[in-house]
Structure 1
Amino acid sequence: MKPVNPAMTELLATITAPGRTAADIAALRLPESYRAVTVRKEDVGMFDGMSSSAKDPRKSLHVDEVPLPRLGPGEALVAVMASSVNYNTVWSSIFEPLPTFGFLERYGRTSPLAARHDLPYHVLGSDLAGVVLRTGPGVHAWRPGDEVVAHCLSVELESPDGHGDTMLDPEQRIWGFETNFGGLAEIALVKSNQLMPKPGHLSWEEAAAPGLVNSTAYRQLVSRNGAAMKQGDNVLIWGASGGLGSYATQLALAGGATPVCVVSSPLKAEICRRMGAELIIDRSAEDYRFWKDEHTQDPREWKRFGKRIRELTGGEDVDIVFEHPGRETFGASVYVTRKGGTVVTCASTSGFEHQYDNRYLWMSLKRIVGTHFANYREAWEANRLIAKGLIHPTLSRVHPLEDTALAVCEVHRNVHQGKVGILCLAPGEGLGVRDHELRERHLTAINRFR
């Protein structure tokens, strides 16, 4: 659906006009409102008493017309051409583990500027590719008309704690999840230090797909703040064809490591093979059941799983486990890691309460490392790999903005591969490509998940 707001129609026409200039964008009349995907505070209790799997994002997500937020110092307004769905949007839509309005209320109390975020609706979304419309006071690196992607780290950096690693800032938040005015919208409000150059060989929807998951996987696997992967490492990757795992698989291959890809279907196994992985475990076909019942794990299954890994690797255990399912798999992850190896964990999409046998950790000198998204430098490096054509988007399907609830439902039900994209202002797929020569060299890899 194309914008019906006349100011938005004019904005889109200017952005997409051949030869448009920074002055053209700067001269645009900004709309007073825009369409955005929201959850509403009044709906917070709608799923009370239901299991997570029974909660339907199609009932809680709305596409609303919302007022344009006021631009503050160090910030930018971006016309969002495309965005994508992350698991934090699933959590937001089903109000788990907590409704996000508590995040907005706490943020709103920190300063008069932050108070803008505390609203009875929450504009979601932690990815975007688009065009800078306006910048606030103190912004010098970006100007109207710049084509950008955004990472989702929002920090204040008024505490010394964040100046060695911005992820340690006590006011660190995830944009579009713990802040308002996210990327599943026609316009987004970001801090200028979230912006990065859009890879020129990608379309809008392709460029919007990697941001959160690629940066998260980079810190988790490659960075010294995570597992510090090296050449020759064996890396067990859960959900290796999914939104996060598909980037971990690529990073392992590009970095000279050997991924051991765990998937849940023959189709997902084939996707991993297309990426170049050779060691693959279809956990559904091999029927691994790490829990006897809701309260009891089965160590015999851990052992069977470890034996299967050694069969694939020629007798070696894994140096690193790339963990994100959480409760369902964590006991097995700790068990199968080699002596002195590392379990690096984030997300916990199957549950946040992890149980494992500490004897296999403590007596074998293993480490558990927690990671969360990425700092600006890590996000920039991850985006640079995309821009150089060394890591590729894993976009599998694309929906228009008005069908975002359906897209989020697909991710919640795990019936997707890779990333699911959302067209916001872009009138169709395939637009926004600037470097056709580089694109042609990598076209097969770019379309691998389509």
Structure 2
Amino acid sequence: MQDILEAIMAAEESNDPDRELAGVAGLPVPESYRGVVVRAEESRMFDGMATRDKDPRKALHVQEVPTPELAPGEALIAVMASAINYNTVWTSIFEPVSTFRFLERYGRVSELTRRHDLPYHVVGSDAAGVVLRTGPGVTRWAAGDEVVAHCLSVELEDAAGHDDTMLDPQQRIWGFETNFGGLAELAVVKANQLMPKPRHLSWEEAASPGLVNSTAYRQLVSHHGANMKQGDVVLIWGASGGLGGYATQMALNGGAIPVCVVSSPEKAELCRRMGADLVIDRAAEGFRFWKDEQTQDQDEWRRFGERIRELTGGEDPDIVFEHPGRETFGASVYVARRGGTIVTCASTSGFQHQYDNRYLWMHLKRIVGSHFANYHEAWQANRLVALGKVHPTVSRTYPLEQTGQAAYEVHRNAHQGKVGVRCLAPADGLGVRDGELRARHEDAINRFRGH
């Protein structure tokens, strides 16, 4: 592994980094590598505990694991950096179910997928690194290519997946519903998960957009999501977070009008630094959408709607960008305009949603489910990053050994933007190949740093 890292680091000072990186093709693949895992034997460790009390630090371990054989159509990448997503938090606290159920189910698909059904699960759904090897049939990528990986894993042997790969019956999220994920020194991906690394970004910056940026693109921009257009009023929950930070940028880039909902003055300031003018600090303004565990407060829905109209000059949201779930969903349905769209991709505050259906059916609103993105959508989202139109939201990074702490901060919502993890990269700031483009966007790239 040290030889691989040295070969990659040689590109840092080289006038021809691509030539230096091509040298990894001649290096042997290690028999094992360090990865962040959860263990099947510990999957009941949090039974009986409230979600908020479950501690990812107790379940996430860094351990040596065997390097798997490559299957046709796959690639082995040396992971320089990765990032924390909510699916890693869910994996680490074994909610809503243990991910070992996913691995067992995937293992039954074929002899090749049986590799994934192991008593440990290498987690992580983001990665930036260098291709080391490719399996039979891979023609687009070669050893030495600098890449980022999106997290859609599909088999595409069913007709249903060929209109939209997200509808493939064997669609899975890599590193969550499959093994050999990105929070590790090496990772196994399908070749159609790979995309070019944005050359003006460091490893940790390039690794951070993958899952959330692609998710936001499909949810807001794609015709599979809300099909956002210029002038749309877009209500964005958690607008300075890992997902909302990209939704805010896409709304602004697309000529929409974001109304950013946050929970602190610091988060409100981050939204303004991204260029958003309309911001609601729900904590400062005291919005509480539930009277108790069983009863929502419709007076608060109305007050929230009135506040949105104050900011927009009397307009209701054309689109509500939903991901908190249970805590906010009733309010989201209520405040969307007549004929508007509530598009949801997650439920970080709870999966059981309640809303008053009168405000949906009588006002002709739509609820759209949106899950990650297909390869085309992920590629387009990554292209926006590569062009400097959308910027990373990395606030802090941790070394691989402290992944548990990184996941704990995300679980406790004690973070801004994205929390990065350095896997093989020994420090932040490495991997930048286009200094001129970076210089033009340095402030935007770093606006979340230190928060």
Question: If the length of structure 1 is used for normalisation, what is the TM-score?
Answer: 0.98
CA contact (8 A) 1:394 1:449 kept: yes
Structure 1 residues 339-418: aligned runs within 5 Å: 339-418=338-417
Q: 2:339 is paired with a residue of what secondary structure? A: strand
Q: 1:338 is paired with a residue of what secondary structure? A: coil
| Whole-angstrom distance in 1 between the partners of 2:286 and 2:20 | 58
Equivalent residue, structure 2, for 1:294:
293
Equivalent residue, structure 2, for 1:156:
155
| Whole-angstrom distance in 1 between the partners of 2:270 and 2:434 | 26
Equivalent residue, structure 1, for 2:144:
145
Equivalent residue, structure 1, for 2:317:
318
Consecutive aligned runs of 4 or more in structure 1 exceeding 2 Å deviation: 18-23
Partner letter of residue 16 of structure 1? M
Give the Å deviation of 1:30.
Answer: 1.0
| Whole-angstrom distance in 2 between the partners of 1:104 and 1:333 | 34
Which has the higher mean CA deviation after the structures are superposed, 378-387 or 22-31?
22-31
1:201 is aligned to 2:200: yes
Equivalent residue, structure 2, for 1:69:
68
Partner letter of residue 331 of structure 2? A
1:10 is aligned to 2:9: no
Equivalent residue, structure 1, for 2:334:
335
Give the Å deviation of 1:23.
Answer: 4.8
Structure 1 residues 85-100: aligned runs within 5 Å: 85-100=84-99
Partner letter of residue 373 of structure 1? F
Equivalent residue, structure 2, for 1:134:
133
Equivalent residue, structure 2, for 1:448:
447
Note the alpha carbon deviations across 1:397-433, whole angstroms, 9 max, x for none: 0000000000000000000000000000011110000
Equivalent residue, structure 1, for 2:14:
none
| Whole-angstrom distance in 2 between the partners of 1:282 and 1:90 | 25
Q: 2:337 is paired with a residue of what secondary structure? A: strand
Give the Å deviation of 1:16.
Answer: 1.6
Q: 1:295 is paired with a residue of what secondary structure? A: coil
Partner letter of residue 366 of structure 1? K
Note the alpha carbon deviations across 1:137-174, whole angstroms, 9 max, x for none: 00000000000000000000000000000000000000
Partner letter of residue 93 of structure 1? S
Equivalent residue, structure 2, for 1:102:
101
Note the alpha carbon deviations across 1:44-88, whole angstroms, 9 max, x for none: 010000000000001010000000011110000000000000000
CA contact (8 A) 1:22 1:143 kept: no
Q: 1:322 is paired with a residue of what secondary structure? A: strand
Equivalent residue, structure 2, for 1:245:
244
| Whole-angstrom distance in 2 between the partners of 1:145 and 1:435 | 17
| Whole-angstrom distance in 2 between the partners of 1:72 and 1:371 | 30
Pairwise CA RMSD of aligned residues?
0.6
Partner letter of residue 76 of structure 1? A
Q: List alignment gaps of at least 5 residues for structure 1.
A: 1-7
Note the alpha carbon deviations across 1:117-155, whole angstroms, 9 max, x for none: 000000000000000000000000000000000000000
Q: 2:363 is paired with a residue of what secondary structure? A: coil
Identity %: 76
Partner letter of residue 327 of structure 1? R
Equivalent residue, structure 2, for 1:5:
none
Q: 2:252 is paired with a residue of what secondary structure? A: helix
Question: If the length of structure 2 is used for normalisation, what is the TM-score?
Answer: 0.98
| Whole-angstrom distance in 2 between the partners of 1:214 and 1:23 | 29
Structure 1 residues 168-179: aligned runs within 5 Å: 168-179=167-178
Give the Å deviation of 1:21.
Answer: 4.0
Q: List alignment gaps of at least 5 residues for structure 2.
A: 12-16
CA contact (8 A) 2:7 2:20 kept: no
| Whole-angstrom distance in 1 between the partners of 2:342 and 2:22 | 50
Q: 1:65 is paired with a residue of what secondary structure? A: strand
| Whole-angstrom distance in 1 between the partners of 2:355 and 2:210 | 32
| Whole-angstrom distance in 1 between the partners of 2:4 and 2:309 | 57
Partner letter of residue 14 of structure 1? A
